Amino acid sequence: MLRVSKLTDYATVVMTCLVDADGVLSAQALAERSHLEAPTVSKLLKQLAQAELVVSTRGINGGYRLAREPQAITIADIVTAMEGPIGMTECSAQAGACDHEPHCGVRVNWQRINQAIADALESVTLADMIKSPSRRSGTIPVRVAIA
Protein backbone atom coordinates (compact mmCIF):
# COMPACT_ATOMS: atom_id res chain seq x y z
CA MET A 1 0.00 0.00 0.00
CA LEU A 2 1.22 3.48 -0.81
CA ARG A 3 0.89 5.99 1.96
CA VAL A 4 2.74 8.79 3.64
CA SER A 5 4.06 8.21 7.12
CA LYS A 6 2.15 9.28 10.22
CA LEU A 7 4.74 11.98 10.81
CA THR A 8 4.12 13.44 7.36
CA ASP A 9 0.39 13.37 7.97
CA TYR A 10 0.91 15.02 11.36
CA ALA A 11 3.24 17.62 9.81
CA THR A 12 0.43 18.59 7.44
CA VAL A 13 -1.96 18.93 10.39
CA VAL A 14 0.52 21.12 12.29
CA MET A 15 1.09 23.27 9.21
CA THR A 16 -2.66 23.80 8.80
CA CYS A 17 -2.83 24.92 12.44
CA LEU A 18 -0.19 27.53 11.64
CA VAL A 19 -2.31 28.85 8.78
CA ASP A 20 -5.03 29.81 11.23
CA ALA A 21 -2.57 31.29 13.74
CA ASP A 22 -2.48 35.02 14.30
CA GLY A 23 1.24 35.52 14.80
CA VAL A 24 3.47 32.84 16.26
CA LEU A 25 2.46 29.75 18.19
CA SER A 26 4.55 27.81 20.67
CA ALA A 27 5.15 24.11 20.15
CA GLN A 28 2.88 23.46 23.14
CA ALA A 29 0.07 25.58 21.68
CA LEU A 30 0.44 23.76 18.36
CA ALA A 31 0.29 20.43 20.16
CA GLU A 32 -2.94 21.47 21.84
CA ARG A 33 -4.50 22.79 18.62
CA SER A 34 -3.50 19.72 16.62
CA HIS A 35 -4.35 17.23 19.39
CA LEU A 36 -0.87 15.70 19.09
CA GLU A 37 1.74 14.98 21.73
CA ALA A 38 4.13 17.86 22.41
CA PRO A 39 7.32 15.82 21.77
CA THR A 40 5.95 14.76 18.38
CA VAL A 41 5.10 18.34 17.46
CA SER A 42 8.57 19.50 18.51
CA LYS A 43 10.15 16.83 16.32
CA LEU A 44 7.97 17.86 13.37
CA LEU A 45 8.73 21.54 13.82
CA LYS A 46 12.46 20.85 13.83
CA GLN A 47 12.24 19.08 10.46
CA LEU A 48 9.89 21.69 9.03
CA ALA A 49 12.26 24.47 10.15
CA GLN A 50 15.23 22.69 8.55
CA ALA A 51 13.24 22.56 5.32
CA GLU A 52 12.51 26.29 5.71
CA LEU A 53 8.74 25.77 5.79
CA VAL A 54 8.41 27.30 9.26
CA VAL A 55 10.39 29.98 11.03
CA SER A 56 11.08 29.91 14.74
CA THR A 57 11.32 32.92 16.99
CA ARG A 58 13.07 32.64 20.34
CA GLY A 59 12.09 34.39 23.52
CA ILE A 60 9.19 34.68 25.88
CA ASN A 61 6.77 35.47 23.05
CA GLY A 62 8.52 33.11 20.67
CA GLY A 63 7.14 30.27 18.69
CA TYR A 64 6.64 29.21 15.11
CA ARG A 65 5.05 30.70 12.03
CA LEU A 66 4.87 29.74 8.38
CA ALA A 67 7.92 30.75 6.37
CA ARG A 68 5.78 31.59 3.33
CA GLU A 69 2.17 32.29 2.54
CA PRO A 70 -0.04 29.15 2.63
CA GLN A 71 -0.62 29.44 -1.12
CA ALA A 72 3.13 29.14 -1.68
CA ILE A 73 3.60 25.92 0.31
CA THR A 74 2.59 22.72 -1.44
CA ILE A 75 1.90 19.29 -0.03
CA ALA A 76 4.92 18.17 -2.06
CA ASP A 77 7.03 20.60 0.02
CA ILE A 78 5.80 19.00 3.24
CA VAL A 79 6.22 15.42 1.99
CA THR A 80 9.74 16.19 0.78
CA ALA A 81 10.63 17.88 4.09
CA MET A 82 9.50 14.87 6.08
CA GLU A 83 10.36 11.93 3.80
CA GLY A 84 12.94 13.15 1.31
CA PRO A 85 12.57 13.19 -2.46
CA ILE A 86 9.27 11.90 -3.80
CA GLY A 87 9.92 8.54 -5.39
CA MET A 88 7.78 5.49 -5.95
CA THR A 89 10.91 3.46 -6.67
CA GLU A 90 14.60 4.13 -6.08
CA CYS A 91 15.25 4.91 -9.73
CA SER A 92 12.30 7.29 -10.02
CA ALA A 93 13.66 9.42 -7.17
CA GLN A 94 17.34 9.24 -8.04
CA ALA A 95 19.07 8.02 -11.19
CA GLY A 96 21.86 5.53 -10.69
CA ALA A 97 20.43 4.08 -7.48
CA CYS A 98 19.75 0.65 -8.99
CA ASP A 99 22.11 -1.79 -10.69
CA HIS A 100 19.29 -2.88 -13.01
CA GLU A 101 18.65 0.53 -14.57
CA PRO A 102 20.55 -0.11 -17.83
CA HIS A 103 18.34 -3.08 -18.73
CA CYS A 104 15.13 -2.32 -16.85
CA GLY A 105 11.96 -2.51 -18.90
CA VAL A 106 9.66 -0.82 -16.40
CA ARG A 107 11.73 2.17 -15.26
CA VAL A 108 10.23 4.64 -17.72
CA ASN A 109 6.68 3.82 -16.65
CA TRP A 110 7.60 4.06 -12.96
CA GLN A 111 9.04 7.48 -13.71
CA ARG A 112 5.77 8.49 -15.41
CA ILE A 113 3.79 7.30 -12.39
CA ASN A 114 6.17 9.08 -10.04
CA GLN A 115 5.81 12.31 -12.01
CA ALA A 116 2.01 12.08 -11.90
CA ILE A 117 2.08 11.70 -8.11
CA ALA A 118 4.61 14.52 -7.72
CA ASP A 119 2.45 16.76 -9.93
CA ALA A 120 -0.64 15.95 -7.85
CA LEU A 121 1.19 16.78 -4.60
CA GLU A 122 2.52 20.01 -6.16
CA SER A 123 -0.98 21.03 -7.23
CA VAL A 124 -2.38 21.13 -3.69
CA THR A 125 -1.29 23.95 -1.41
CA LEU A 126 -1.54 24.41 2.31
CA ALA A 127 -4.23 27.01 1.62
CA ASP A 128 -6.22 24.34 -0.24
CA MET A 129 -5.95 21.98 2.73
CA ILE A 130 -7.85 24.32 5.03
CA LYS A 131 -10.70 24.98 2.60
CA SER A 132 -13.96 23.13 3.03
CA PRO A 133 -14.34 20.60 0.26
CA SER A 134 -16.77 21.66 -2.43
CA ARG A 135 -19.30 19.19 -3.69
CA ARG A 136 -18.52 20.09 -7.31
CA SER A 137 -14.81 20.80 -7.46
CA GLY A 138 -12.03 18.60 -6.26
CA THR A 139 -13.75 15.32 -6.93
CA ILE A 140 -11.51 12.38 -7.41
CA PRO A 141 -12.39 10.14 -10.34
CA VAL A 142 -12.66 6.50 -9.36
CA ARG A 143 -12.27 3.64 -11.79
CA VAL A 144 -14.35 0.62 -11.07
CA ALA A 145 -13.29 -2.69 -12.54
CA ILE A 146 -16.18 -4.77 -13.68
CA ALA A 147 -15.54 -8.49 -13.60
CATH number, domain of 33, equals 1.10.10.10
Amino acid at 123: S
Name the residue range of residue 82's domain.
Answer: 6-129
Taking only the tens place, the pLDDT of each residue in 52-102 is 999 999 988 889 999 999 999 999 999 999 999 888 877 766 666 777 777
Asked if 12 and 129 touch (Cβ cutoff 8 Å), the reply is yes
Instruction: Compute the distance between CA of residue 94 and CA of residue 78 in angstroms, rounded to an integer.
Output: 19
As a whole number, mean pLDDT of residues 22-35 equals 93
pLDDT in tens, 9-18: 999 999 999 9
What Å distances lie between residue 23 and 70, 85, 87, 99, CA to CA? 14, 30, 35, 50
Split into its structural domains, the chain has a count of 1
Is residue 144 assigned to a domain? no
pLDDT of residue 92: 67
Q: Please tell me the predicted confidence (pLDDT) of residue 62.
A: 86
What pLDDT, on the 0 to 100 scale, is given for residue 12?
Answer: 97
Query: Tell me, what's the pLDDT at 138?
Result: 54
Q: Residue 41: how many CB atoms within 10 A of its CB?
A: 26
pLDDT at 143: 47
The CA distance from 50 to 81, in Å, is 8
- Does residue 102 lie within any of the structural domains? yes
Residues 6+ apart with CB under 8 A from 117: 86, 88
